Amino acid sequence: MPTQSMSQRATGRSWAIWLTGATVYLLAVFHRTSFGVAGLEALDRFGVGAAALGTFTVLQVGVYAAMQIPTGLLVDRFGPRAVLTAALLVLGTGQVLLATAESYPVGLVARGVLGLGDALTFVSVLRLIAAHFPGRQYSLVTSFTTAMGYLGNLAATVPLTLLLAGPGWTPTFLIAGLVTVVFAVVVNLRVRDTPLGVTPVRTSAGGPRAVAAQVAEAWRVPGTRLGFWLHFSTMFAPNVLTLLWGLPFLVDGQGLAPKSASALLTVFVFGSMIGGPVVGAVIGRYPSLRLPLAVGYLGGAALVWATLLGWPGAIPVAVLVPSFAFLSLGGPASMIAFALARDYNPLRRVGTATGVVNVGGFVATTLSALAIGVLLELTGDFRIALLAVVGILGFGASRMLVWWRRTRAQLFAAEARGEQLPVRIRRRRWDAPERQSVGAAAA
């Protein structure tokens, strides 16, 4: 059943280790989102059209999603410090390659390498948090980590735009890549996988069968499955708008000027930066509110999309701003999924379970990005194309509710056996009967 953090009290050393790891995540998000403002320069540099440019984003997100489970396995096997070091070296290499790339194929390879390095960061930082902080602080510190990521997102907007207009493409990305590589030295000096006096808990080496068994073991846990579908449902919509389709929707679909559209999209950044710590603090103090908050967000998101897609004519900015502000909370809400992965898996398997959970949102992002593009090409209507978001939202939410009920059944069965629980819950009319709950847990 649930696991407790190896650290019962966060020390100054714990916070220093977290800050170092979170800075790696900041750098990764900077590299991930840099194409948001470098797109026009990329069109000229590589001599390609908009469709080819969109491939950069789909490729990077696809690589990120595909690497989440392998990343979790690597973290459980070698520890987060080693994986974060590798991440920095890969990220730096990818950015240096992009800085010197002159052709579209080389540029694609560079973004793929960046996606690989990016994929190694977040799960590693979450494993550090699980080892160095008590369970009641896990969600809050995780939300601080995502806020650091949004600082990287901000650095990839106006500051990067100014650098591209000044020194230019090659010096800007070359310096970013070299700084990233150098920070690997800091990680090796400052980061430790576990608190002082605690022996690292790692999985043993094994072949493909052992790896598959580790993933299957994590997937069989109802709490892991619940986390996967919660992450799938909550974070993909703001992701797909900020990474790819938000600007075209506002400019081509709503008639806004590009500068106004870019400014409007910053609502997602600031909304997540503010909402993340708030959500983290609430669910850290009141863990029983985790799923009700997620369900409340999904219900509100459905109403927001109904408003946006059903609005007659151009949508006023006064409607877009609060709508985007609410949708931006999908990122903070998705952090609940990682708390579930931590609570329902032993520490030796937390990295793998976190990787499994993290796949959910990026699979949904990739599916929705591709579906929007196909529908837009077929119809030329953004409102029809964005119905893909509504469909994926409904599917993910329905699966999340199924696994919420099954996880509750497991909790009731564990409670009947006298086991320690991550959260106390009350039986509701829609819960499975007690005899079925016990049977389900024993199966």
pLDDT on residue 441: 35
Report which of 274, 338, 330 is spatially closest to residue 298, judged by C-alpha positions: 330
pLDDT on residue 348: 78
**376 and 36 in contact (C-beta within 8 Å)?**
no
pTM: 0.78
Amino acid at 311: W
pLDDT on residue 351: 81
Sketch out the chain's domains with CATH numbers. 1-191 (1.20.1250.20), 209-443 (1.20.1250.20)
pLDDT on residue 8: 60
Q: What is the mean pLDDT of each run of 10 residues along the chain (443 residues)?
A: 53 92 94 76 79 76 86 88 96 94 92 93 91 84 87 80 85 94 94 78 64 84 94 92 82 85 85 87 85 95 96 93 95 90 83 88 87 86 93 96 88 73 69 49 31
